[in-house]
Amino acid sequence: MSPATALGCLLACLLLVAGCGDNQDDAGARALLQKIRADGYTTWDRAPGYEERRPTNAPHSEAVDIYVNDRVAEVLALGEPTTSWPVGSIIAKDGFDGSKLEIIAVMEKRADGWYWAEYDDDGDPDYSGRPETCTDCHRSGSDYVLAFGLP
């Protein structure tokens, strides 16, 4: 992510954090968190370049762990060029302030596009659905994924 993109994302998040979030689909967000927790998302493969927790300049806390479900891991393992992540792809990001979990952010690729949800440290959704703060920032990513690219 370029410094200008990171700054733009940070400013957009700061403006929205100062507000009340954009929780468009509370029930759907809660179901998604329950689904990934039941699947033990913190045992999933780590995203490329995120084999361990690392600092970030993105608006998702000071340091992050990023996990990918089997669908994403399979695409990455094949290494064949693709233009988009397949339906069923899930990427989960735990954001930390020091050693304290601050947020959980999840992206799930659905038939109609990406679904976003971000939760506070208690698991309550602050953002869900297709909030502009997520879509505007992630638009510059590889099929909306900023942390790592498509193979």
**Number of domains forming the structure of the chain:** 1
Kindly state the DSSP code that residue 39 receives in the 8-state scheme. Answer: T
Q: CA–CA separation, 114 vs 96, rounded Å?
A: 24
Please answer whether residues 70 and 83 qualify as being in contact, where contact means their C-beta atoms are separated by less than 8 angstroms.
Answer: no
Kindly indicate the confidence band of residue 10, based on its pLDDT and cuts at 50, 70 and 90.
very low
Domain that holds residue 52: 3-138
pTM of the full predicted structure?
0.84
Assess if residue 131 is contained within a domain.
yes
Assess if residue 145 is contained within a domain.
no
Q: Does 67 have pLDDT greater than 90? A: yes
- Average pLDDT for 65-83: 96
Assess if residue 14 is contained within a domain.
yes
State the CATH number of the domain containing residue 22. 3.50.70
- Average pLDDT for 15-38: 82
How does the average pLDDT of the chain come out, rounded?
88
Assess if residue 146 is contained within a domain.
no
Torsion of CA 120, 4, 144, 12, to 10 degrees: 40
Which DSSP string corresponds to 50-116? -SS-EE--SSS-SEEEEEE-HHHHHHHHH----SSPPTT-EEEEEEEETTEEEEEEEEEEETTEEEE
Assess if residue 19 is contained within a domain.
yes
